[in-house]
Amino acid sequence: MPELTENDGLERNASSPEVAAVLKSDEKRSLNSPRIVHPSGKSAHGRGMQILRGVALAIYFNFCCFVIAVTQFIGAPLYLFNREWFYSYMAMTKQSFALTITVMTQVWGPTTIRISGDASVAGQILATPGGGVEFKFPERLVMIANHQIYTDWLYLWWIGYANRPGMHGHIYIILKESLKYIPFIGTGMMFYGFIFMSRKMATDQPRLAYRLNKLKKSKVGPSGKAYFDPMWLLLFPEGTNLSRNGREKSFQWAEKNGLKDPEHVMLPRSTGTFFCLNELKDTVEFVYDCTVAYEGVPRGKYGEEIFGLASTYFEGRPPKSVNLYWRRLRVADIPLNDQKEFDIWLRDQWYQKDALMEEYLNNGRFPALPGAKTKYVETDVRTRYPWEVLQIFSVVGIAALLWHNLRKAVSTISAKAGAAV
């Protein structure tokens, strides 16, 4: 998530002796060490098959996005007549996109999802018959996570799908403003109610407040009881995914402010998270914290350099496992009355993440679920039923059928009228 802090303006500065030493050490190791073997093994496909897989993926993904965009435009007039129907309809199209990326990963980039957590999530992560998983997270929460690779959001969105009730139609993500200009996808994300940030405080804070105000607005049900719509707000407080450049900036920021720099994550930026939690604190009881680790990323290396788009989806070398460790934090226990105290609190959560990542690198696993029969729930990214993907095409298919029958009826009436004359 883009955060509104002075850290955004920190310039890359390799003139610092400490930074220069780190970079020089990295370069030396890179030159003197043997070629690193990909942790997922050799490419499962030759160049020709990789091209075919890439073309097939592009056709599938773009066609699904096009159909979802058409579906959204068909339902857009609902906004003028009934806002509740409109938002429910768009949540349905958001489910369709979640199904799109789930099937995409299931077919082109299958991987094991290994899930555990501490005592705060005991009983909320359950293995299901057939090797699946079911989450029992609440309908309203704020989710925070370290940002390892660009695909993190994909696996976390799938968690919403695996939740009971399914929350994949009610997830909200904060994104860079430039993403809304991507054809079809950008327009779709605007319909989804995603929040776009320019990283300029004067512009972003009013925009963020406006969107969050919609997410915390209470409603009155038929029984007269007030309620809030389901909502999962996903935040990445580090601001960007872990990379060599980001690692360097985190080091510089820590050095400038006399802070301990974590080894496996970047220092979080607190301003945006602080603002979001303050806006939502009266309507959300818990923050769910997820620590993400990808199997096969060596110490001191970066997942984005190993598990890129080509490796994961074209070459057949996705990560062997994506490991998720969950903690539940009560909003009432978070210091939201003071920005400095919150900054210390959030930084401490990231130091705990760093310790968890160290344990993962040493043991190949996060700590097990305490007191549970199944210490780790292992599954893969998949739909519950193969035919669920057909939901994506249902509205457009029905609309096409109605249009065909309407044209046929009009043609028949015209023909009869002509014969009568």
Mean pLDDT of 308-336: 94
Q: What mean pLDDT is reported for the chain?
A: 88
Min mean pLDDT across 31-40, 118-127, 406-415 is at 31-40
pLDDT of residue 35: 53
**What is the pLDDT confidence band of residue 421, given thresholds at 50, 70 and 90?**
low
pLDDT of residue 101: 96
Percent of all residues in the chain with a pLDDT value above 90, rounded to a whole number = 66
Min mean pLDDT across 35-39, 210-214, 238-242, 304-308 is at 35-39
Q: Which position has the higher pLDDT, 107 or 413?
A: 107
Min mean pLDDT across 33-47, 64-78, 314-328, 377-391 is at 33-47
Min mean pLDDT across 11-20, 173-182, 351-360 is at 11-20
pTM (global) more than 0.85: yes
**What is the pLDDT confidence band of residue 18, given thresholds at 50, 70 and 90?**
very low
The edge-to-edge listing of strands for the beta sheet with 321-330 is 195-197, 171-176, 231-235, 140-145, 286-294, 321-330, 112-117, 377-380
Q: Which position has the higher pLDDT, 371 or 96?
A: 96
Q: Which position has the higher pLDDT, 91 or 20?
A: 91
**In the predicted structure, residue 22 carries a pLDDT above the cut 60:** no
Q: How far apart are CA 146 and CA 290, in angstroms?
A: 7
Mean pLDDT of 233-249: 91
Q: Which position has the higher pLDDT, 275 or 417?
A: 275
pLDDT of residue 4: 42
Mean pLDDT of 383-392: 93
pLDDT of residue 186: 86
Mean pLDDT of 17-41: 51
pLDDT of residue 417: 79
Mean pLDDT of 63-89: 94
**In the predicted structure, residue 397 carries a pLDDT above the cut 50:** yes
Mean pLDDT of 188-199: 86
Percent of all residues in the chain with a pLDDT value above 70, rounded to a whole number = 91
pLDDT of residue 36: 59
pLDDT of residue 1: 45
pLDDT in tens, 150-164: 899 999 999 999 998
**In the predicted structure, residue 217 carries a pLDDT above the cut 50:** yes
Q: Which position has the higher pLDDT, 270 or 16?
A: 270
pLDDT of residue 28: 41
